[in-house]
């Protein structure tokens, strides 16, 4: 169910991006040279804001915690 939902969301985002691109081109045709706007200025979408990559919480760990976590993994996997 999650994969289906993600697929539908991706399809909707794609359609929204196409709509924004077409509208932006028509809008920029009406503006003077050098006064064109960017897609984000023309029609901002919630996903335009830079998303933080999902690193499994590693960026929130201190170097000591990362080292301890790796050591624990090594013990569990007998490396």
Domain ranges in the chain are: 1-48
pLDDT of residue 57: 57
**pTM of the shown model:** 0.56
Digitized pLDDT (tens) for each residue of the chain, 79 residues in all: 888 888 898 999 999 999 999 999 999 999 888 889 999 899 999 888 766 556 665 567 788 888 888 888 888 887 5
Contact 39, 21 (CB under 8 A): yes
- Residue 73: C-alpha distances to residues 46, 56, 63, 70, 76 (Å): 37, 15, 15, 5, 5
pLDDT of residue 52: 59
């Amino acid at each position: 169910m999650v994969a289906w939902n993600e697929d539908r969301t991706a399809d909707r985002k794609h359609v929204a991006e196409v709509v924004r691109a077409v509208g932006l081109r028509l809008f920029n045709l009406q503006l003077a040279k050098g006064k064109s706007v960017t897609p984000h200025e023309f029609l901002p979408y919630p996903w335009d804001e830079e998303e933080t990559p999902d690193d499994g919480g590693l960026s929130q760990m201190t170097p000591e915690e990362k080292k301890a976590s790796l050591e624990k993994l090594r013990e569990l996997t007998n490396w």
